[in-house]
Structure 1
Amino acid sequence: MARVLVAEDDPLTLAGIEVLLANSNFQVVVTASTGVEAMDKLAAARPDLLVLDVEMPERSGLDVLRTLRSRGDQRPVVLLTGSIKDARVQEAMQLGVNGLVIKANAPRDLLLCLEAVAQGRRWFDQETLQRAMELVQSPTAAKRDPLQGLSDRERAIAALVQRGLRNKEVAAELGLTEGTVKVHLHKIFDKVNVRSRTELILLAKDQGD
């Protein structure tokens, strides 16, 4: 039986997921209501896979995914969302997300997604996947994502800087030294053609608009 961590800030949605998985091959071993709580509980819970709400307080599901991948943690991650911008779907796919389920369709799709992911396959809501693929294939796709050339770790650092964290805090979050963060940050500046943290934050915010 696969051990599952579920991070969802809406109590009714969380209860619904627990009921849905109650008689399945998936055991909910721990729940969280924020991204920070999910990260805090990860080591002790030792889940085989994670189901993360995209929009959560403190840290989003995408933030958690980004941090996991930057640390080399390749455990399967399924994102659960009411709606998601196409550019964010593209980023999630670049980070190696294993599945994406729309909340309105979760009673029908979540188990299908988890079963596919547990077998080593990827599963995405078809309409959302189609829009994301169209974005990837668009001639202007690179212009829409100014952070496209960054590595997983660099994306994680850029995301934390966008949230207002200082180098020391970024280092603690990602398990790096402060000096390493500074080196990565200068590489990020060069790659995205900015000169300061402020310009990087504005660039990242423009990407999310």
Structure 2
Amino acid sequence: MLKPNILIADDHPLLLKGLEDFLKEKKYHIIAACTDGLSAYNAIVKEKPDIAILDIEMPNMTGVDIAKNCKRYNITTKIILNTLHKERRLFEDAVKYNIMGYLLKEFALTEIEACIASVCEGKPYFSEKIYKRFSHVSDENKNIEKLTPSEKKILRLIADEMTSSEIAEFLNISVRTVEKHRANIIKKLDIDQKPNSLLIWSQKNKEQLL
């Protein structure tokens, strides 16, 4: 698939035109350029492009909504998201819904050819800035899943800067039990046994413990 059939969609006309002109200049075959999510999804269903490059935030359907539907109905079009957003949740959605590419608009024109080439080979491609920022997240999530409910509760209290004695009193358990939990948590999370390492980790990842 040297020059795949591509659909593009963005509700900002200037950005859509700029992307279309750039891809055509590079001799890619653009089969449709859509300004809203529903039109893009309908065109994907009808035209079955090899690749769809979609803005995330669009009227009627978001890029993620389109990816969900493509996965649900076994549509083989490979989805690349092109966005300004850098939220962790969107990165995780991209992984969850088999989205093959995630480009930041500020770097899109410098990365898009490499992204298309990678996706054509069946290899996911994420903007370097996004990958560096969030690639460690999945490993941290896996480690958090190893924790028991009691360990998660203690880790949340550690994040609130409670001492072992305060945690023991709050949970009506012994300080020794708290310390045992702390040791198990450090081992499961693979954290350096330096002073305050557990506190720093718990505060950094507090939202993952809710």
Matched letter for residue 98 of structure 2: G
Please give the root-mean-square deviation of Cα atoms over the aligned residues, in Å.
2.2
1:141 Cα offset (Å): 8.2
- Whose relative contact order is higher, 1 or 2, with alpha carbons under 8 Å and at least 6 apart? 1
Residue deviations 1:120-146, cap 9 Å, x none? Answer: 222111221232222222258878xxx
Report the count of equivalent residues.
145
1:55 Cα offset (Å): 0.9
1:70 pairs with one of 72, 83, 97: 72
1:27 Cα offset (Å): 1.0
- C-alpha change, 1:46 and 1:83, in structure 2 (3 Å) is same
1:88 Cα offset (Å): 1.6
State the SS of the aligned residue for 1:138.
helix
Within-5 A mapping of 1:91-170: 91-139=93-141
Residue deviations 1:92-117, cap 9 Å, x none? Answer: 11211111111011121112211221
**How many Å separate the matches in 2 of 1:43 and 1:82?**
26
Long gaps (5+) in structure 2: 146-207
Residue deviations 1:59-80, cap 9 Å, x none? Answer: 1101100111011123211100
**How many Å separate the matches in 1 of 2:101 and 2:45?**
22
Give the equivalent residue in structure 1 for 2:29.
Answer: 27
Within-5 A mapping of 1:167-178: none
Long gaps (5+) in structure 1: 144-206
Whether the 8 Å CA contact 2:103–2:126 is kept in 1: the answer is: yes
Give the equivalent residue in structure 2 for 1:18.
Answer: 20
Whether the 8 Å CA contact 2:44–2:77 is kept in 1: the answer is: no
TM-score of the superposition, structure 1-length normalised?
Answer: 0.63
Residue deviations 1:118-171, cap 9 Å, x none? Answer: 22222111221232222222258878xxxxxxxxxxxxxxxxxxxxxxxxxxxx
1:32 Cα offset (Å): 1.0
State the SS of the aligned residue for 1:77.
strand
Matched letter for residue 124 of structure 1: F
Give the equivalent residue in structure 2 for 1:51.
Answer: 53
Matched letter for residue 6 of structure 2: V
- C-alpha change, 1:86 and 1:43, in structure 2 (3 Å) is same
1:9 Cα offset (Å): 0.5
TM-score of the superposition, structure 2-length normalised?
Answer: 0.63
Q: Percent identity?
A: 22
- C-alpha change, 1:71 and 1:44, in structure 2 (3 Å) is closer
Structure 1 runs (4+) deviating above 4 angstroms are: 139-143
- C-alpha change, 1:90 and 1:139, in structure 2 (3 Å) is closer
Q: Please tell me whether Structure 1 or Structure 2 has the larger radius of gyration of its CA atoms.
A: 2
- C-alpha change, 1:93 and 1:140, in structure 2 (3 Å) is closer
Q: Please tell me whether residue 9 in structure 1 is matched to residue 14 in structure 2.
A: no
Whether the 8 Å CA contact 2:56–2:82 is kept in 1: the answer is: yes
